[in-house]
Amino acid sequence: MPEWRKDPIIERWVVIAPNRGARPHDVAHATTARSAGPCPFCEGNEEETTQEIAACRESGTQENGPGWRVRVVPNKYPALTLNEATPPSGDAFHQAMPGLGAHEVIVESPRHVRGIVDLSEDHFREVLEVYRRRLLELRTDPRLLYAAIFKNVGEAAGASLEHAHSQLIALPLVPRQVRDELAAALALYRQRGRCAYCELLEVESAAAARVVLQTPHFVALCPYASRFAYETWVLPRRHASRFESIAPAAEADLAGVLQQVVGRMENLLDYPAYNYLVRTAPLQEVELPHDHWRIEVFPRLAKTAGFEWGTDVFINTVSPETAAARLREATPLRAAALETAAARC
Amino acid sequence: MPEWRKDPIIERWVVIAPNRGARPHDVAHATTARSAGPCPFCEGNEEETTQEIAACRESGTQENGPGWRVRVVPNKYPALTLNEATPPSGDAFHQAMPGLGAHEVIVESPRHVRGIVDLSEDHFREVLEVYRRRLLELRTDPRLLYAAIFKNVGEAAGASLEHAHSQLIALPLVPRQVRDELAAALALYRQRGRCAYCELLEVESAAAARVVLQTPHFVALCPYASRFAYETWVLPRRHASRFESIAPAAEADLAGVLQQVVGRMENLLDYPAYNYLVRTAPLQEVELPHDHWRIEVFPRLAKTAGFEWGTDVFINTVSPETAAARLREATPLRAAALETAAARC
């Protein structure tokens, strides 16, 4: 069973999850992310997954059968589960907690497509709406303090299956990275009297050098101190710490912005492996004046090496200004099959 | 020119180094770490590298010519250099510093070998001695506050060249990860009245479940909250915060221990890509009672994904107890060519 363990020295928790070692394609020398057998995420193969938690379905269709557009299932090889009841244990140097949490897969299309650019804008908006609903549902469990929604595309980005999907991991703690960001943002809020991200957005919009694109609701930019080449963040213009509070019009806008950002990266960088991450406020918080939700997109062009693991210093070989200029000029590639999808959704 | 930039919100610095984008094999779709042309690190090809900084040489041989056993050169595509004189710049959200630092390559053998197991134990001890001398030399420059020595083996671990080598990056700051570790270790020292790592070593040695091997001077163990499967740390039994203070007998012992640890991983895991990192105290510190130097070895079996980047929570699918048990039973593979090397060094 999975277990949470705290580092003996620093406040960093890891999940020890031997059960996940058994999952398909998660092997040391995997050379392809393509499954050999039938794809468990394709419509008609619903029996290959665990029982569905939620779905957007055509009316009259049955749970766990065909007829869905977006489908949420528990990860078959969960890093964490909600059924953990063993008590915390340990001594001064060995603190453990049960492997409590949730690990869900959001299957983004009934068709075997690879990317979000292969979905119609309205279909992808529906995926974002599923993110929102899952966050609202999970925050009703008071044991869950944080939820990360993320996407891994390509083997180098940690994907084990090709069919377009995202994942959600809900945690019984606020992770170190988020805690550090919240503390730093709170200190800046106290100094400057307003959300630092809101102020930063104004400065970046005015300077324009790192801006990729702007829409009525969002700014996409390459952060000043980007860790990864072509790293791009999408931030709402309007202050909000919780992704779940997004309004319908902004959600539709966001779908288009993310498809633009990812589509331009795919065209410019020849379909790189990439991750994106929805960075929202802790689940049990009310609206925070100092935090600002965003989606962070990271192409995975270089490998992280020994230096980064030991220092948390990253070396980025493409300046954010160059990256933004190239992404401004790029156009997204759209799959030929898209029209079919648009007609369907 | 390279530039240091601080994240607008958190105290995390990155190096923006567009010049490194030009180096060979550092491309998005590299499928091999093997160079196409002559290997710049092989004996006889010294003109392919920059001018040597230091070397262990046969007597009577010339700098930048053949006759060396271990050779240190500046990285041809440095992330940082010592010639930076531009002043710091920026505003509230955009702090930059010149790209000051040092970036060196330690070529570990004149022969084209891949791993430390292909070197005789005494030759590898000489490599460690070169690490020690470089740290002692670099700390005489008061601008340099930290030095990370690390090794990347295999493309998945960030290596761009195959020939056995390590790297040293010296920084004008103490990086975030090290700062966090020092602060946490100092808090524990104040609570418990002694170095937490010293106490932890006693507890782990007694419990034995996570111990891989023990020698007169060292303990190799899989840390309780390992981030990576088969992650192994080698710690000196005797308290010391600075690697540079290692005594000759311990240095010889360490060479054997590291060859055992890496050799067992290579046999058990079929030559995985891996990193190791010398985690020593900040360069300008005197001996610290609360910090404890060590070498951290990370096989790179799984890919880090969107979840880890956004949370700093790692999911490890092999428990440290299982990893240690398997590494205890494993034996190192040694290359057939080793005898030649032993005769030579």
CB pairs under 8 A between A and B: 246
Least Cα separation, residue B104 to chain A (angstroms): 13
Kindly state whether B223 is in contact with chain A, defined as any CB-CB distance less than 8 angstroms: yes
Between residues 85 and 104 of chain A, which touch chain B (CB distance below 8 Å)? 91-94
Q: By the 8 A CB rule, do A32 and B273 touch?
A: no
The distance of B1 to chain A (nearest Cα, Å) reads: 11
Question: Which residues in A lie closer than 8 A to residue B17 (C-beta atoms)?
Answer: 315-317
Any CB–CB contact under 8 A between A267 and chain B? no
Chain A environment of B99 (Cβ under 8 Å): none
The predicted structure's pLDDT at residue A23: 59
Of B5, B9, B277, the CB nearest to A196: B9
pLDDT at B264: 97
The pLDDT, as a whole number, for residue B268 is: 96
Question: Is A225–B196 a contact, with Cβ atoms under 8 angstroms apart?
Answer: no
**Residue-level pLDDT at A33:** 42
Q: Which of B178, B203, B310 sits opposite A93 (nearest CB)?
A: B203
Identify the closest residue of chain B to A172 by CA–CA distance: B313
- The beta-carbon neighbor of A311 closest among B175, B225, B303 is B175
pTM of the model: 0.91
Neighbouring CB atoms inside 10 A of B86's CB total 12
ipTM: 0.89
Per-residue pLDDT of chain B (345 residues; tens, 9 = 90+): 789 999 999 999 999 998 876 665 433 333 334 456 789 999 999 999 999 999 999 999 999 999 999 999 999 888 899 987 777 788 889 999 999 999 999 999 999 998 999 999 999 999 999 999 999 999 999 999 999 999 999 998 989 899 999 999 999 999 999 999 999 999 999 999 999 999 999 999 999 999 999 999 999 999 999 999 999 999 999 999 999 999 999 999 999 999 999 999 999 999 999 999 999 999 999 999 999 999 999 999 988 888 898 899 999 999 999 999 999 999 987 654 443 443 333
**Weakly modelled stretches of chain A, pLDDT under 70:** 21-36, 334-345
What pLDDT is attached to residue A21?
Answer: 67
Give the pLDDT score at B335.
55
Q: How far apart are CA B34 and CA A324, in angstroms?
A: 32
Model confidence pLDDT, tens digit, residues A25-80: 433 333 334 456 789 999 999 999 999 999 999 999 999 999 999 999 999 888 89
A65 to A112, A324, B14: CA distances (angstroms): 16, 43, 48
